[in-house]
Structure 1
């Protein structure tokens, strides 16, 4: 196990489709220098058959950064993992948790909870040509499975193939009857089961995910022996509340930059993106929650939402939005 990446994984931002793209990750890295960041899920077929290598693009400043792959064909995942490793990712993670219809039809994501031997074959192949650590993100079970029975068996089978780090979303996924959105909220959380897995397999690095909305929520899990906590939507919508204090509270480091300093440090990145033909709102859509809970936050969000999509919008638009924050100066 890579000790550096293992330490970073004490806190991570979950891979979230349409959200954790490279612009989001660059922004998050300015807020926290330590937290482990994940890509959106990238399907192995898109890389291997589709040649969509742009999906592997990232900025060097994003490290430590992990690539999450989706797929169920061992040979294809082997090639995709090699691509991710060659691109310089610090970790390559296999998605065994996403409940979307698209994922089910492709036989990957949460449906793989029912096929642990296939998952073991996949990760074994991925490790064969991947210098980065191969990890797994899973659920506690799907549909009518009994988590207390299937989760230990799943972990043992996959760990026997060489995986030493698991992130467990502490909910079942109901593939029949619930939408992907409902699967993030409706199935009840079972945090004690995840803690039992750490007690049963102390040699494994186990992180918990699901329903954790603050560092106050996260720290007890670490204090009680889990190796890491993964936060999703809360880290996206209130990034500074969580990531801004993470380096100090989770890693014992120094406090983060101020919100205003982060805006200023985004300006050169934005300039580069615009020069390459990009649009301002491709970046600023991830920044709407930067001032969440602060005076002027609503005006900040509103100004960016109404103006950042305009074709000639540039850094001055961001600076104009900053004027809506009373204490920005």
Structure 2
């Protein structure tokens, strides 16, 4: 395998790993809107990878590159073994989750609770770096619970960078492990973008990517004045048409598809192949509901998929008929 090098430019734009959302069908859909954006899997635990159905969990379409595998775990040996498996499957990056605040994650001693154990996170990074030749990155919060974000983020960042981490992706909020649900942790703790900017200023040689509450490419451009990359989460998933502008606005290149209708024309062969392989139509089309937000016919599009896409044996014609209900006005124009 050819040795890979990582530059901060490689992380200029990415779509966040999101549980129950960024599966392989979602990523393939997103890839048709941006060639350059980096895509991430849902978080997969080391236990699932080491003991589960690896092909079902890890297989992806080669057109998804660049695509990163996000791991959840805290045992350095298990993480190293899982990272090597991910590399062998062809992933371009291994990312360690140090930001998820769910109870299940906390009980398993991984995710955001690891913000309190920077030495352990560093040991995990060091073990993964020794096992693979692709980049190893860390996604974290600015702190948890009563931690001081200045000290907590600095301690974690310096520990993992010393261990060899290739980049830091920082969700610019605290995670409150006591008192807030995972959903509340996505909105209630206040955003502190300046804290991430200060981290970058203090570590100029480290690739720092900012995440959390970023809703548009215009906002992304403002953040890029201070950090190396921007990661969009819910804005990319719930309003995927925003991704149509990524390659042109951020990379100065043409987009693979000019409109959402072009995207759907391009995705049809993929849907047909997946259906032939036994995938249910709804497993794919559930990621499409926000595609035409603000466009005439968007509600009819969603309703048609909701009513007909869930039926056993639903075929690609259901999707074609749904798209035909939508007008021609671009959602980007509606939002402008």
The equivalent residue for 1:214 is 216
Counterpart CA distance in 2 for 1:90 and 1:44 is: 18
The equivalent residue for 1:29 is 31
Deviation at 1:293, TM superposition (A): 1.5
The equivalent residue for 1:238 is 239
Inter-CA distance 194–2: structure 2 relative to 1 (3 Å threshold): farther
Matches within 5 A, 1:213-292: 213-222=215-224, 224-240=225-241, 242-257=242-257, 258-292=259-293
Specify the SS of the correspondent of 1:35.
Answer: coil
Contact 1:245 1:256 in 2 (8 A): no
Corresponding residue to 2:95 among 93, 96, 102: 93
What TM-score, normalized to structure 1?
Answer: 0.96
Counterpart CA distance in 1 for 2:288 and 2:10 is: 23
The equivalent residue for 2:169 is 167
Task: Spell out, residue by residue over 1:4-33, the C-alpha distance to the aligned partner (whole angstroms, 9 max, x if none).
Answer: 674232111000000000000000000111
Contact 2:244 2:255 in 1 (8 A): yes
The equivalent residue for 1:313 is 314
Contact 2:35 2:255 in 1 (8 A): no
Counterpart CA distance in 1 for 2:15 and 2:192 is: 20
The equivalent residue for 1:194 is 196
What TM-score, normalized to structure 2?
Answer: 0.94
Inter-CA distance 254–126: structure 2 relative to 1 (3 Å threshold): same
Inter-CA distance 5–87: structure 2 relative to 1 (3 Å threshold): farther
Deviation at 1:326, TM superposition (A): 2.5
Contact 1:78 1:125 in 2 (8 A): yes
Deviation at 1:256, TM superposition (A): 4.2
Aligned residues: 326
Specify the SS of the correspondent of 1:15.
Answer: coil
Deviation at 1:294, TM superposition (A): 1.1
Counterpart CA distance in 2 for 1:306 and 1:6 is: 44
| Deviation larger for 284-293 or 200-209 | 284-293
The equivalent residue for 2:64 is 62
The equivalent residue for 2:85 is 83
Q: Structure 2 stretches of 5 or more lacking a match?
A: 330-336
Counterpart CA distance in 2 for 1:180 and 1:152 is: 24
Counterpart CA distance in 1 for 2:21 and 2:110 is: 20
